[in-house]
Amino acid sequence: MTKKVFIKTWGCQMNAYDSDKMSDIIAPLGYSATNKMSEADLVIFNTCHIREKATEKLFSELGRFHKNQLERAKRGEKTLIAVAGCVAQAIGPEIQRRAPYVDMVFGPQTYQYLPEMIARISRGNGSILNTEFPEEIKFDRLAETSSSGISAFLAIQEGCDKFCSYCVVPYTRGTEYSRSISAIAKEANRLVELGAREITLLGQNVNAYHGEDESGNIRGLDYLISRLSEIIDLKRICYMTSHPNDMTDEIILAHKNNPKLMPFLHLPVQSGADRILATMNRKHSADDYRKIIDKLRAARPDIALSSDFIVGFPGETTFDFKATLRLISDVGFAQAYSFKYSRRPGTPASAMSRQIGEELKEERLQELQALIRQQQDAFNHSSVGKTMPVLFENKGRNGGQIRGRTPYMQSAHAKASPDLIGQEVMVKITATKTNSLEGEVV
């Protein structure tokens, strides 16, 4: 019998990847995806714990879905509700207490057991909480990838040993683990067979990748990228998210020498003030970051840079904040993500004195985002008049248009035949819109 699963995903690309894997792993049980809550026999919330808001959202969504569960029960239909991901890992028992109608709560390291968990629940054996870090490697047990877009994600590394003082990731995703070169190559080949032309290698600390090759040697990200670029139909390789301290000369050199490696790098710096970087436990200074950027630009002058920033970290003075703005001005970003510091229970920073008030955080965020917006606009405007390869991924919003991305990860639209989807085509950029470019196929 066919059943429907509704998966709602919050947070990072790793969560999006995990959601796809969950979908693949339950497909043999007869589940196909739906985006209609009312017809879902199984609902999975794949959650993010990185900032507070996501947790609040989870509980309000759970309430909504509980109502739907009751409605369906009146019609004699059973609805299983599962909470997965980092919130499940961090506050599993609280979820069970506050939402007793949730059937399964499991963390990011245990979703490979989803078929067994569903079987147990279906036998009526109460609710399940599974937030262990099992010995068995999750990736070894995952189902084979069943579908792929033109642009695909591939998790190569998971977890983090850095313990930045504000961050929950080392607690929710566990310690760093790198998949083997052969497992990654196999999945990459499969994705390309299924139509992928661009692969983004994912990891919480992706540039710390150190996986075993076929001869048992430990290899870095630069080697992995060079191996994957041997796949003929794979046109583009990207990776995220990186830590400045793992940005080796070899990876920088790959940006110079490997034409399949895109000239785009997401390299979070978080703050431009050394004092704050120290209390964040980042183990690098603002100037260390500037030096890495200089090296990257020497290797690949057109590289487009992206970053993450946190404003209002405990103890952040106006002087510190200005140092962050200065760093942004010095570097020049093509885009960036910025967040108000969010106090996460159990992290060292949440216990620090001199927490910053909400209003001041908001003010700083606005100022920082205005500067980033200016830089992003300037970067996009500098593309106008240039001709560059665009990898087309899908149809655009307006009829007759197709949408793809430039090598710098900007979205670009052009009036062209959908037959070009999946191909890298030279496009002359003619205009910029708020969040994308427009161009003509040349």
Contact 229, 182 (CB under 8 A): no
Q: Which stretch binds ligand 5AD (CB under 6 A): 21-29, 53-61, 340-348, 395-403?
A: 340-348
Short-list 255, 287, 236, CA closest to 423 = 236
How many chain residues touch ligand SF4 (CB under 6 A)? 10
Among 178, 205, 242, 279, binds ligand SF4 (CB under 6 A): 205
Between 262 and 281, how does the x/- string for binding to ligand 5AD read (CB under 6 A)?
------x-x-----------
Contact 184, 211 (CB under 8 A): yes
Which among 165, 25, 144 has a CA at the least distance from the CA of 84?
25
88 binds ligand 5AD (CB under 6 A): no
160 binds ligand SF4 (CB under 6 A): yes
Size of the site for ligand 5AD (CB under 6 A): 12
Residue 50 touching ligand 5AD (CB under 6 A): yes
Q: Using CB under 6 A as the criterion, what x/- string covers residues 359-388 for binding ligand SF4?
A: ------------------------------
Q: Which does 314 bind (CB under 5 to 8 A by kind): ligand SF4, ligand 5AD, none?
A: none
**Pick from ligand SF4, ligand 5AD, none: which does 303 bind, CB < 5 to 8 A by kind?**
none
Q: Taking CB under 6 A as the criterion, which residues in 342-371 touch ligand 5AD?
A: 342, 344
Phi, psi of 104 (to 5 degrees): -135, 135
Q: Output the six-digit token pair for 363.
A: 């003010």
Pick the closer one to ligand 5AD by CB: 244 or 422: 244
Which strands, in side-by-side order, build the sheet including 198-202?
A: 151-155, 198-202, 236-240
Phi, psi at 196, each rounded to 5°: -70, 140
State the DSSP code for 442. -
Stretch that binds ligand 5AD, among 102-110, 112-120, 194-202, 337-345 (CB under 6 A): 337-345
Bridge-partner residues for 270, per DSSP? 309
204 binds, among ligand 5AD, ligand SF4, none (CB under 5 to 8 A by kind): ligand SF4
Nearer to ligand SF4, 111 or 166 (CB): 166
Q: Is 199 in the site for ligand SF4 (CB under 6 A)?
A: no
Residue written as tokens 């196909």?
A: 32
Among the listed residues 84, 117, 164, 188, the single contact to ligand SF4 using CB under 6 A: 164
Looking at residue 144, what DSSP letter applies? Answer: P
- CA dist 113 to 54, 109, 176, 315, 376, Å? 25, 9, 21, 43, 43
Which one of ligand 5AD, ligand SF4, none is in contact with 328 (Cβ closer than 5 to 8 A by kind)? none
167 touching ligand 5AD, by CB under 6 A: yes
Which positions from 305 through 324 interact with ligand 5AD, judged by CB under 6 A? 308, 310
Question: For ligand SF4, which is the closer residue by CB, 172 or 380?
Answer: 172
Determine the interface stretch with ligand SF4 among 1-9, 67-75, 167-175, 258-266 (rule: CB under 6 A). 167-175
243 binds ligand SF4 (CB under 6 A): yes
The full DSSP string for 349-389 is GGG-SSPPPHHHHHHHHHHHHHHHHHHHHHHHHHHTT-EEE
Contact 314, 278 (CB under 8 A): no
> Over the range 406-442, which residues count as b (16 or more CB within 10 Å of their CB) and which as e?
bbbbbbbbbebeeebbbebbebebeebeeebbbbeee
3-state secondary structure of 126: coil
Is 204 a binding residue for ligand SF4 by CB under 6 A? The answer is yes
User: Nearest distance from residue 391's CB to ligand SF4, in Å?
Assistant: 28
Answer whether 227's CB lies under 8 Å from 185's CB. yes
141/398 Cα distance (integer angstroms): 42
Residue 163 interaction partner, one of ligand SF4, ligand 5AD, none, beta carbon < 5-8 Å per kind: ligand SF4
List, in sequence order, every beta strand (DSSP E) within 268-346.
304-311, 335-340
162 binds, among ligand 5AD, ligand SF4, none (CB under 5 to 8 A by kind): ligand SF4
- Nearest one of 54, 38, 30 to 6, comparing CA atoms: 38
In the bound complex, what is the minimum distance in angstroms from residue 306's beta carbon to ligand 5AD? 11
The pairing of strands 437-441 and 424-432 is antiparallel
- CB under 6 A: which stretch of 56-64, 282-290, 339-347, 361-369 binds ligand 5AD? 339-347
CA distance 15 to 173: 11
Select 197 or 284, whichever has its Cβ closest to ligand 5AD.
Answer: 284
**Residue closer to ligand 5AD (CB basis): 49 or 219:** 49
Is position 167 an interface residue for ligand SF4 (rule: CB under 6 A)? yes
- Interface contacts to ligand 5AD, rule CB under 6 A: 50-51, 166-167, 268, 270, 308, 310, 339, 341-342, 344
- Interface contacts to ligand SF4, rule CB under 6 A: 160, 162-164, 167, 169-170, 204-205, 243
